């Protein structure tokens, strides 16, 4: 009889432990997700504001292979990531081109020796 009661107590203890562990993991996961803004990628691109000459263009192997363009205007340098852009814009831009991007839009004016156009970024939002 004592062996049966020990097994029952051990079983109940394991069930309670698993339940509490699940609650802790759920709370941690929910807390981490609350730290990350729930925005689509296109919303982040809309917030960007830059203009200047492309001084560098590369794939950053140390930073998740992000497609990176460095825009320089005067003494100010700004890195712009095109990791979610899938319309071919990154491939079109060359060092020496000028880029003009206003906030609250996905349109970028690209000006080079042979081209002066406005391109709407095609952003993969993961949907």
CA pair distance 56, 44, nearest whole angstrom: 22
Task: Examine the domain organization and report whether 83 and 115 are in the same domain.
Answer: yes
Q: Residue 91 has which token pair?
A: 């491939």
Residue 97 lies in a domain: yes
Residue range of the domain that includes 52: 41-120
Q: Which of 23-27, 65-69, 71-75 has the lowest mean pLDDT?
A: 23-27
Q: What is the DSSP letter of 83?
A: S
Helices and strands counted in the chain (H then E) = 3, 6
Q: Residue 42 has which token pair?
A: 């296109």
Give the chain's mean pLDDT: 86
CATH of the domain at 79: 2.40.50
Residue 17 lies in a domain: yes
| Average pLDDT of the segment spanning 30-43 | 63
Q: Residue 8 has which token pair?
A: 């029952």
């Amino acid at each position: 009889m004592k062996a049966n009661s020990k097994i029952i107590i051990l079983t109940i203890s394991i069930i309670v432990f698993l339940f509490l562990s699940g609650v802790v993991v759920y709370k941690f996961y929910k807390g981490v997700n609350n730290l990350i803004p729930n925005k689509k990628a296109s919303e982040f691109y809309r917030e960007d504001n830059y203009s200047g000459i492309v001084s560098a263009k590369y794939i950053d192997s140390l930073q998740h292979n992000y497609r990176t363009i460095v825009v320089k205007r005067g003494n100010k340098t700004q890195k712009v990531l095109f990791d979610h852009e899938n319309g071919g814009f990154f491939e079109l831009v060359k060092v020496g081109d000028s880029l003009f991007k206003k906030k609250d839009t996905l349109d970028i004016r690209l000006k080079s020796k042979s081209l002066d156009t406005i391109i709407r970024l095609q952003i993969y939002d993961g949907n």
